[in-house]
Amino acid sequence: MLVNPHLNLKVGPFTVQVSSNIAVVLDGARLLYSDREIAPPDFVDFHISMARPSGLRGWWRPQVNFRLDGHAPFKPLPLSQALPMFEWGLNWCITSHCLDYLIIHAAVVEKNGQALVMPAPPGSGKSTLCAALVCNGWRLLSDELALLKLDGSGEVVPLARPVCLKNESVSLISGRFPQAQFGPVCNDTIKGDVAHMLAPADSVFRVEEAAKVQGVIFPRYIKGAETQLWLRSRAYTLLELAKQSFNFHVLGEQAYQVLRGVVDQSQCYDFHYSDLEQALQLFDELVDEVEPLTGQGDSQYVL
């Protein structure tokens, strides 16, 4: 029996309470969010509980359930996958319940005051590139969820959560950047072998510091490909950002205006790469060139 089966975390703008009698859950969460633990708050955004099912599956080939306010939105997973399940479940909590921001499936990094949003589908190399950039001096705002303010400022609110890496990317990043800290590797998940890289201390320290978007880049890893970056239509960028949004359909016109403001002030690119070193060099050069492009008018939306 755990002495204190509750953990209170400040995760970006959200307060999360995790309750569990499974040591690997709370110990793992404390490792991944070592700088985020807080005293019991007056208000909690997400009350999460994780426990073994009752009956046989609590002990034979044990499983774990994820619940939000007592509701189980997912089927149970093997107990060995409890920590990834917590991370995936927290993603679901944010994307399914938060309407204070326009939420895009994208990584966000910042350097020299310039935030770059990187939307991409699974398997594109987005998280690997994000992790490498963060280990190379960029600030981590998010690996998975870009929280765009609704006030028209074109700013992203940081989450600075751990970066989820899969399969060969784990050894690639840990070998290239020995200073990177990782949680345990979880094998044979639906996404393969998974490990989470901790957010750097500076990114956590600056988690209340929003950043203005000045670039939208769609990355794609292609084995053996040359490093290529080319301009992308703002109109198609807006359409793709809307597709990658979790709550565009709920926010409606307000969401459209937010995205229009973001693409107006950004340079938009497609990016293909296979050489990580070349990618890092290109991104460092890019932040010296990106300039705000506000007030370009409707002509930017000609397809």
User: What's the mean per-residue pLDDT of the chain?
Assistant: 91
Among candidate residues 299, 297, 302, 227, the one with its CA nearest the CA of residue 269: 227
For residues 267 and 167, membership in a common domain is answered with yes
Which residues of the chain fall below pLDDT 70? 1-4, 55-59, 289-303
Domain endpoint, select from 97, 122, 140: 97
Q: What is the pLDDT of residue 58?
A: 59
> Within a domain: residue 300?
no
* 241: CATH: 3.40.50
- pLDDT at residue 56, as a whole number: 63
- Say if strands 139-142 and 102-111 run parallel, antiparallel, or are unpaired: antiparallel
* Three-class secondary structure of residue 117 per DSSP: strand
- Measured CA to CA, the distance from residue 189 to residue 161 in angstroms comes to 20
* Residues 157, 279 within the same domain: yes
Question: Which of 41, 72, 97 lies at the terminal end of a domain, its last residue?
Answer: 97
Residue 298 covered by a domain: no
Is there a single domain that holds both residue 213 and residue 279? yes
Q: Is the pTM of this model over 0.85?
A: yes
Residues 26 and 168 placed together within one structural domain of the fold:
no
Is position 301 within any domain? no
Total count of domains within the chain = 2
Other Cβ atoms less than 10 A from the Cβ of 215: the count is: 21
- Are 150 and 235 part of one and the same domain? yes
119 and 82 share one domain: no
Same domain, 90 and 108: no
Amino acid at 159: L
185-243 tens-digit pLDDT? 999 898 899 999 999 999 999 999 999 999 999 999 999 999 999 999 999 999 999 99
pLDDT score, position 39: 82
Question: What pLDDT is recorded for position 178?
Answer: 95
Parent domain of 46: 6-97
Q: What is the pLDDT of residue 252?
A: 97
83 and 175: one domain? Answer: no
Residue with tokens 């995936």: 88
Same domain, 152 and 197: yes
Q: What pLDDT score was predicted for residue 35?
A: 85
* Residue 107 shares a structural domain with residue 235: yes
Whether residues 246 and 276 share a domain: the answer is yes
User: Is 132 part of a structural domain of the chain?
Assistant: yes
